[in-house]
Chains A and B, each alone.
Chain A
Amino acid sequence: MLASARSWGIYLLRRLVYLMVSLLGVSIITFSATRLLGNPVYLLVGTTYTKEMVENMTRELGLDRPVYEQYARYMANLLRGDLGQSRYTFNPVVVDIQRRLPATLELATYSLLLGALWAIPAGALAGRYRGSLFARLADFIARTGVSVPNFWLGLILIFLLFAAFHLLPPPLGRIAADASPPPAITGWYTIDSLLAGNLNTLWASLKQLVMPALTLAFTTSPSLFQITRNTTEAVYSTDYMRTAKAFGLSPWTITRYALKNILVPVLTMLAMTYGYLIGGTVLVEVVFAWPGLGLYAVDAMNHADYEPIMGVVLLSALFYILVYLAADIINSMIDPRIRMEGI
């Protein structure tokens, strides 16, 4: 037992090192993009400037220093949590991000849940009963989900569910215009409403969530569906499942045996989807006027303010890496073979 605990420890250490390296890589890429692609001085100084202003700003930003020194400064700022200043909200980017994060997080989480609720059971069934009518139908839905642009789908839903059939309220953000948001504890309107015991607000928030979450769920669930389906089919045709059947184990035991093996790739894909969603809500937030990180980045862009965008990029990349790491760790607990592999 000691041997397996040790191997696990080594594995965790490896993963953490990998995390550091990835974060480093991300920061290098974002740094390169800002410093090397454009001249931030001109971006920050505005449209009217004097030579003196440019020189001052250059010195202030440390752009006259060698590249590695600039990078060190950049990293130092990052580690302190300094992501720069937004020129149009006049807040530090970190503060803005803190305020906007819950909205995106709430939307992303519900989208993931909705997508997984459909994709995983459907994928399992489609994998078991290949060639069935259900499998072909589900496959068609998945293919459509991949081909449809999410911003367009959002508009379609708005047209059908709001404009044409008046089933849902207008897409004006997280809560209806005449309602007020619940007292902020987590920043999630749904959870906060529950905590405050206000069912009306809960209902109002949920109604606003339906269309954007449905849009995102529909366009991000296909990969979940496919991985579940392919893995289920593969698992059920393995030798070990045949052995289980050959020894007459109960249907529940056989399902349990299969699920364990199906879980690992599916969990990985769940993590990848969640990680993607945090950075991927941009267009949907624009369509539904959802005040999250995506809309924040777009607003910044429209104000020629690039630091907020970079801040959001960094946060999304960080989130993705963390979620992926979490899934990896959980997987290593389920599948002992993973602990023995290299990075």
Chain B
Amino acid sequence: MPNSVPLLAIRDLRVDLHIERDVLHALRGVTLNVGRGDLMAVVGESGSGKTMTGLSVMRLLPASAQITDGQILFDGTDLTRLQESSIRPLRGKRIAMIFQNAQAALNPLVRVGDQIADVYTRHAGLSRQAARQKAVEAMQATGIPNASERARGYPHEFSGGMAQRAMIALALASSPELLIADEPTSGLDVTIQGQVITLIRDVVRRLNTTLVVISHDIGLVSTICNRIAVMYAGVVMENGTTARITSRPANPYTAALLRCVDTRPTERMPFIPGRVIDLRQKWPGCPFAPRCALAQQICHDQAPLPVEVEPGHVSLCHFAHQVFEQDGSASYDAAAVRN
């Protein structure tokens, strides 16, 4: 439920990524509000900038990436302005992040239980003994069988799903105000994915933590999240409650995305033609214009401004109202497929 002062407010965030001799404009003005208690999903294809956004909040961007403009306001403080020494006390204590491919994201040479215990020692000030005990409890809470034995094991002895549970146990141990989960279910068996995402919701509820889940699977995250932000090519295309976005999108990209995941039988398999824009270029207009069925000249020439089609539902499109009125999917069907 929306709160007066958002816990996390990202304003026009721009990030450049330097690869070899090229500069990729990975984030091109991301604006996003996350209220206390929200379970926010940030969805998009690969390359949309969703992981970059998460890393920017944590200030864990690789050395080749730089925040060039914008603000990240966490509880009023602009994280982009802080020195590393001021950010460090926040990490793990107030904001935490868990990653995909948990087996690789855990230290292969440290016992899993010890890694969780280290978080307890650091942030809860517990003794080594107490921390170890709490670590086992945390592992039990995340559904790892034989937790006390498993705690003495190493990450390579864990299956993908179990390693992800261990990762979530790390989040339990740190008990942050804001938890960012970067693609927590990718790479896992489909049957496990549902379990893991539900586990995350339960943990977050139990800790009273605000959650931001980054994923490309809009269907999966909509089962637990109350709000969705759809990203494309470094900007947030649409932002609103799960219910409204999935039933009444106000952005052609969102509509197209939803059609692709729609499991109802159709005549032919839906897809979005064309390719993502070259992130090395600065595009004056809407980034989705080259692939959008509704695109007009203005879409190529001028960047769209955010339009609030209804309270709490914002879309970045010149024709947001039209898309919203026409109930999304229908309008996309009618338009001719563009080259």
**Do A and B touch each other in the complex, judged by CB within 8 A?**
yes
Q: Tell me the complex Cα distance, A241–B108, Å.
A: 10
With A239-B99, A257-B110, A260-B109 already in contact, the answer to whether A247 and B170 are too (CB < 8 A) is yes
Q: Quick one: which of A246, A248, A260, A337 contacts B110, CB cutoff 8 A?
A: A260
Q: Interface 1/0s, chain B 78-107, versus A by CB < 8 A?
A: 000000000011111100111101001111
Contact with A along B149-178 (1 / 0, CB 8 A): 000101010000000000100100010000
B122 touches A248 (CB 8 A): yes
**B123 with A248: CB separation less than 8 A:** yes
- Alpha-carbon distance A245/B89, docked complex (angstroms): 11
Contact B107 A257 (CB under 8 A): yes
- A266-302: CB near B (< 8 Å → 1, else 0) gives 0000000000000000000000000000000000000
Given the known inter-chain contacts A247-B119, A248-B122, A249-B122, please indicate yes or no for A242 contacting B109, CB distance below 8 A.
no
Chain B nearest CB from A245 CB (Å) reads 6
Is A246 a contact of B60 with CB atoms below 8 Å? yes
Give chain B residues whose Cβ lies under 8 Å from the Cβ of A249. 92, 118-119, 122
B105/A248 in contact, CB under 8 A: no
* Min C-beta distance of B63 to chain A, whole Å: 9
- Cα distance, A244 to B115, chains bound together (Å): 9
What's the minimum C-beta distance from B136 to chain A, rounded to whole angstroms? 16
Q: How far is the CA of A245 from the CA of B108 in the complex (A)?
A: 16
- Residue A48 CB within 8 A of the other chain: no
Which residues of chain B are near A237, meaning CB under 8 Å? 62
List residues of chain A with CB within 8 A of the CB of B98.
Answer: 243, 246
User: CB-defined interface of A240-264 with B at 8 Å, one 1/0 digit per residue?
Assistant: 1111111111100100010011000
Contacts of B119 in A (CB 8 A): 247, 249
Which B residues are in CB contact (< 8 Å) with A337? 108, 154, 156
CA distance A244 to B91 in the complex (A): 10
* B106 cross-chain contacts in A, Cβ below 8 A: 240, 243
Asked whether, in the complex, the Cβ of B99 is within 8 Å of the Cβ of A242, the reply is: yes
Assess A246 versus B109: contact at CB under 8 Å? Given A253-B122, A336-B154: no
- Cβ-neighbour of A239 out of B89, B104, B109, B156 (below 8 A): B104
Cβ-based interface call for A335 (8 A): yes
What CA separation (Å) do A337 and B170 show in the bound complex? 23
Q: Which residues of B contact A160 (CB under 8 A)?
A: none
- B118 contacts which chain A residues (CB < 8 A)? 249, 253
Q: Mark B54-68, 1 if CB is under 8 A from A, else 0.
A: 000010101000000
Contacts of B91 in A (CB 8 A): 245-248
In the complex, what distance in Å separates the CA atom of A147 from the CA atom of B104?
38
* Cα separation A247 to B101 with both chains bound (whole Å): 17
- Establish whether residues B107 and A247, one from each chain, have CB atoms under 8 Å apart when the complex forms: no
Assess the A244–B107 pair: CB atoms within 8 A: yes
Which A residues from 291 to 336 make CB contacts under 8 A with B? 334-336
Given the known inter-chain contacts A260-B110, A261-B107, A337-B108, please indicate yes or no for A246 contacting B122, CB distance below 8 A: no
Contact call A246/B97, Cβ cutoff below 8 A: yes
Size category of the B interface is 20 to 34
Q: Is A261 touching B109 in the complex (CB atoms < 8 A)?
A: yes
Inter-chain contacts of B167 with A (CB < 8 A) = 243
For the complex, what is the distance from the CA of A1 to the CA of B146, rounded to whole Å?
Answer: 13
B151 to chain A, nearest CB (A): 12
- Tell me if B110 and A242 are in contact (CB < 8 A): no
- Residues B110 and A247 in contact, CB atoms below 8 Å apart: no
> Which chain B residues lie closer than 8 Å to A261 at the CB level?
107-109
Check A246 against B58 for contact (C-beta < 8 Å): yes
> Closest Cβ of chain A: how far from B276's Cβ, in Å?
25
Q: How many residues of A contact B (CB 8 A)?
A: 23
Q: In chain A between 30 and 50, which residues have their CB closer than 8 angstroms to a CB of chain B?
A: none
| Chain B residues, CB < 8 A from A247 | 91-92, 96, 119, 122, 170, 174
Contacts of B174 in A (CB 8 A): 247-248
B122 touches A239 (CB 8 A): no
Q: Give complex CA distance A337, B155 in Å.
A: 10
Chain B residues closer than 8 Å to A241, beta-carbon distance:
107
Q: How far is the CA of A261 from the CA of B107 in the complex (A)?
A: 9
B308 to chain A, nearest CB (A): 34
Minimum CB–CB distance from B293 to chain A (whole Å) comes to 39
- Residues of A contacting B109 in the complex (Cβ-Cβ under 8 angstroms): 260-261, 334-336
Q: Which of A237, A240, A245 has the most CB of B within 10 A?
A: A240
A238, closest chain B residue (CB): B104
- B139 to chain A: closest CB distance in Å? 16
| Chain B contacts with A in 193-235, Cβ cutoff 8 A | none
The answer to whether B99 and A248 have CB atoms under 8 Å apart is no
- Name A244's closest neighbour in chain B (CB-CB): B107
Of chain B, the residue at the smallest CB distance from A335 is B109
Most chain A CB within 10 A, of B101, B118, B156, is at: B118
Known: A246-B60, A246-B91, A248-B90. A240 touches B107 (CB 8 A): yes
Closest Cβ of chain B to A234, distance in Å, is 13
The distance in angstroms between the C-alpha atoms of A335 and B96, with both chains bound, is 28
| Cβ–Cβ < 8 Å partners of A242 in chain B | 60, 99, 105
Alpha-carbon distance between A1 and B91 when the two chains are bound, in angstroms:
35
Kindly state the separation between the CA atoms of A242 and B101 in the bound complex, as whole angstroms.
Answer: 13
Q: Which residue of B lies closest to A1 (CB)?
A: B152
A237 closest partner in B (C-beta): B62
| B107 adjacent to A248 (CB under 8 Å) | no
A1-23 contact mask (Cβ, 8 Å, vs B): 1 or 0? 10000000000000000000000
* Residue from the set B105, B119, B156 with the largest chain A CB neighbour count within 10 Å: B105
Given contacts A246-B91, A249-B92, 20 further A-B contacts (CB under 8 A): A237-B62, A239-B101, A241-B107, A243-B98, A243-B107, A243-B167, A244-B107, A246-B60, A246-B92, A246-B98, A247-B91, A247-B119, A248-B93, A249-B118, A253-B122, A260-B109, A260-B110, A261-B107, A334-B109, A337-B108
Selected A-B contacts with CB under 8 Å, 24 pairs: A239-B104, A240-B108, A241-B107, A242-B60, A242-B99, A243-B98, A243-B105, A243-B106, A243-B167, A246-B58, A246-B60, A246-B99, A247-B96, A248-B90, A248-B122, A249-B118, A249-B119, A249-B122, A257-B110, A260-B110, A261-B107, A335-B108, A336-B109, A336-B156
Q: Using a CB–CB distance below 8 Å, which chain A residues touch chain B?
A: 1, 237-250, 253, 257, 260-261, 334-337
